[in-house]
Each structure stands twice: as C-alpha cells, then as structure tokens.
Amino acid sequence: MRHSLVISVLLVLGALTPPATAETRKPNILFIVADDLGYGDLSIHGCKDIPTPKIDSIAKNGVRCTSGYVSGPYCSPTRAGLLTGRYQQRYGHEFNPGAKLDNPEIGLPLTETTLADRLKAAGYRTGLVGKWHLGYADKFVPTSRGFEEFFGFLGGAHPYSPGPKGHRGILRGTKEVEEHEYLTDVFAREAIAYLDRHAKEPFFLYLCFNAVHGPMHASEKYAKRFESITDEKRRTYATMLTALDDAVGQVLAKLAALGIADDTLIAFISDNGGPEPVNASDNGQLNGGKATTWEGGIRVPYFVQWKNGKLPAGTTYDHPVIQLDLAPTVLAASGVPVNPEWKLDGVNLLPHLRGETKEAPHAALYWRFGGQMAIRAGDWKLTKAVTGGGRAGGGGAAARRDKATVEGAKLFNLKDDTGEQSDLAAKFPDKVKELAAIWQKWNGELAEPLWGPPVNKKKD
C-alpha cells in the first residue's frame, strides 16, 4: 500500500514538473555576417563559377528572404543597426568611424543598448568572433558592449595572412595575440572552440567574417580549384569566398556534432552589397554596389534557419525585411519581452516567416546615407543615389557629403524592374509625392551624423 502511494505521488510530481527538454530550452542564437559579399555570388542566387553549398544550406534548411535589406550600404552603420534593432541614423551612426589613429573616441553611441546586452541580461553567454568596427576606445570595445568573450579585430579591414602587430592586430579580449593561419580559418577555429565551451547553455555567438572584404589575399589551398577563372581578381575572390563557405560549413557541422543544431536559430547576411571592381564581387541583376542606395548596395543575402519545425525549411519569403528585424526576432524566440521604451524599428519576423500572418512586416523601409536616400513601400522604391550606380564602391565623395533630399529622386517598381533600369517618376508623379512625403517625415526624426563626411559643405 505504502509502495503504491509513493509511486502515485511520484507520478503526480512528474506530471507537474515539465522535463528539461529541447522544447523548453532557450534557443542558441548564431549570427553569421559576411563582408562585402555580392548578391549574385552565392549558388542559391545563381552564381555559376563559385559553389557555396554550405552557406546555401542555411537557406535550404530555413527561410530565404528574397527582399532582404540592410539599413546602410556600408560596414559599420549596418552593424550598428543589426546590434541595436534601430535605424542607426536615429543616433548619428550614419558613417564608418574611420581609422583608429584618426578617430579613437568615436563608436557606437553609449546611449544605445546592444542585443548582446539584452541577451546577457536574460542569462545568455555572449561571444563575438571576427570583425567589430564599432569603435576602438575601451568604452566601445565588444567586452564593454555586452560580449563576455571577443576574438577578432576592432577596425574595418584586416590582412588574411600573418602580418605585423600594431593597431590593426588580432585581439583575444583586449590582449593582442599572434596568428599564423589564414584569418578566415582562424575565425572558424575560434567559433568552433566557442561552441565547444558553451554547448550546454544558451549562447549568442556573433560570427563576423571579414571575408570577402579587401585586402585581396587568396586562400592558397583553393587556388587550383579556380584555375579556369581567367580574371585574376575574380580568381582570388573565389578562393576567399570558398574559404568563407568552408568555414561556415565547419561551424554548422560542429553544431550538429554537439547535438544542438535543432536548438540554434541561425541568421546569415552580408553587411552590404559588393563593391564590384574593388573585390571582383558580383551583385547579379541588381544595380549599383556598396556605398550606394541602389539595390546593389542595400539588398543582401538574408537567410534564417531554425530547425525542428520552428521555421519552415526550404521556403522563400518575399515581403521586404531588414537586418533591424533580427534583434526583435531573436528576443521573441528567446522569450525576452520588448519594452516599447526601447523604440526598436525592427519587428519580430517569426509569425511572418511561419506564415501565421500574411501582412507585410513593414509599411515602408528607409535609407539615408549622406546625400543619398531611398524608401521602399511594397513594390515601389523611390531613390536618389550615386549617378551611374556606384559600381566602383566608393559612393562618390560629394554624394556622401551633402544632405539628402528627395528632389530629383527616381521611382522604380521593383516587382517588374529589380535592376532599377526604368525610372517611372514622370509617369507616376503622385506616387513620387506620396513616397517623398513619407520619407521626409522619417528623415525629420533622425539625428545629425556624429562624425564622418561633413554635410552642407562645398566639394573640396
């Protein structure tokens, strides 16, 4: 009798206490950011000369957002928006911070809270491997902005092969270290080590490769594979991208080996479009490139994977989304409520990507980059960008110096004209007026740039 009573009590307690399964565990978060990757340089986007099966697998096992954007056509502003979930122009982070020796006291404003801060407060382990580019002073470095661990470099670019120490060195935490391997391989090694250390607890790993940003340093172990590419720069680019693809594959394989792939929400993006002549990238049918508000500067590969049925695998999502959405999306996935006082511009994409709502996440998306501007609302885009598409990647000094206005902006219907070849402004003046008014209202909410190309000054 007593034995039966004990069993009954244990059964009741068991029913009341949910098991600690993958269903109740907070998901791990993995952001993988490529640097200066051309939109057309992935196999899944039609690339023929450089296979990218590992990166493609994130899309094939998740959702590929066909109209995925970043909020700036440049490295540092995009990263600021990604980590805050807010348009970086709202707090003056419109341009790159420049070199350490030139601007040691500027970086992601301390008024902003990072995603790492928020997830750390929610019990996550937080780590960054790779490129930072959000400030050099102690108050701006990753370990002061929510990341418990950091391995990488603070600036905007770094050699891939071993080089001299100095202000462009590789850091572990805040201490400079020497490395003797190809840098993309080094970052893969460090990411894998991070996963080994934290596999049993929820983590946020921000994995920011500098590939395929310059300098153009080939990964020699892939050189023979691309001997058929006649253009030397494109051949070098192919080895760099393949090293990146293999590195992503190693990280994905480690997640699987540790048995945590199903528990990890993965997002893959590029920080901006490719600067085509600079690194031999290819933005495909998109007009323009890095540092412009043409599609080639701001539309990027954008894949989100969360296995075990949490997001549908092998699907596409066509409504416009932006990298600002990733912060509120992972906060929702992690059970962290968003406080309205945070004033996030991004939205939780989970119900959209799951098909639980058919409404578009955004009525409009906005851009301002010096003298360039853009707004996308539905299929319509109004933009004022560098003349000729900015294929050189520099964006034009004058265009970055001036203040953006809507005068002379061009109108495109991206559903019919993804390459922005047919300006419809004269044909649809009312649509131009409508979009211009919406953009001007948004622009009126923004801060002046805290640094960077001066505004309202004549060309030097």
pLDDT (tens place) for every residue of the chain, 460 residues total: 444 544 444 444 444 444 444 457 899 999 999 999 999 999 999 999 999 999 999 999 999 999 999 999 999 999 999 999 999 999 999 999 877 666 778 999 999 999 999 999 999 999 999 999 999 999 999 999 999 999 999 999 999 987 655 445 899 999 999 999 999 999 999 999 999 999 999 999 999 999 999 999 999 999 999 999 999 999 999 999 999 999 999 999 999 999 999 999 999 999 999 999 999 999 999 999 999 999 999 999 999 999 999 999 999 999 999 999 999 999 999 999 999 999 999 999 999 999 999 999 999 999 999 999 999 999 999 999 986 444 433 444 545 567 899 999 999 999 999 999 999 999 999 999 999 999 999 999 999 999 986 333 333 2
Looking at the structure, do residues 314 and 412 belong to the same domain, yes or no?
no
Looking at the structure, do residues 158 and 306 belong to the same domain, yes or no?
yes
SS (H, E, C) 329-380: HHHHHCCCCCCHHHCCCCCCCHHHHCCCCCCCCCCCEEEEECCEEEEEECCE
Largest CA distance in the chain: 95
The predicted structure's pLDDT at residue 456: 38
How many Å apart are CA 18 and CA 15, to the nearest integer? 7
Residue at 11 is within a domain: no
Residue at 207 is within a domain: yes
Which residue is catalytic, options 45, 47, 65, 133? 133
Its pTM stands at 0.92
The predicted structure's pLDDT at residue 392: 37
**CA of 247: how far to CAs of 77, 242, 352, in Å?**
25, 8, 30
Looking at the structure, do residues 330 and 385 belong to the same domain, yes or no?
no
Residue at 9 is within a domain: no
Tokens of 445: 């909410």
Task: Give the CATH number for residue 120.
Answer: 3.40.720.10
Contact between 272 and 36 under an 8 Å Cβ cutoff? The reply is yes
Range(s) of the domain holding residue 410: 365-443
Residue at 16 is within a domain: no
Looking at the structure, do residues 425 and 344 belong to the same domain, yes or no?
no
- Helix/strand/coil for 217: coil
- Listed in sequence order, the residues at least 6 apart from 271 whose beta carbon sits closer than 8 Å to its beta carbon are 33, 34, 35, 36, 70, 74, 75, 78, 79, 300
Domain final position from 285, 320, 353? 353
Looking at the structure, do residues 235 and 150 belong to the same domain, yes or no?
yes
Looking at the structure, do residues 343 and 372 belong to the same domain, yes or no?
no
Which residue is catalytic, options 47, 75, 213, 217? 75
Task: Give the CATH number for residue 380.
Answer: 3.30.1120.10
Residue at 201 is within a domain: yes
Domain count, the chain: 2
Looking at the structure, do residues 377 and 302 belong to the same domain, yes or no?
no
Contact between 347 and 338 under an 8 Å Cβ cutoff? The reply is no
Looking at the structure, do residues 385 and 262 belong to the same domain, yes or no?
no
The predicted structure's pLDDT at residue 338: 97
The predicted structure's pLDDT at residue 229: 98
The predicted structure's pLDDT at residue 402: 76
Residue at 206 is within a domain: yes
Looking at the structure, do residues 321 and 407 belong to the same domain, yes or no?
no
Residue at 358 is within a domain: no
Looking at the structure, do residues 229 and 110 belong to the same domain, yes or no?
yes
The predicted structure's pLDDT at residue 199: 98
Residue at 14 is within a domain: no
Domain final position from 318, 353, 388? 353
Looking at the structure, do residues 314 and 393 belong to the same domain, yes or no?
no
47 is a catalytic site residue: no
Looking at the structure, do residues 411 and 297 belong to the same domain, yes or no?
no
362 is a catalytic site residue: no
The crossing angle, in degrees rounded to 10, of helices 183-198 and 232-257 is 10
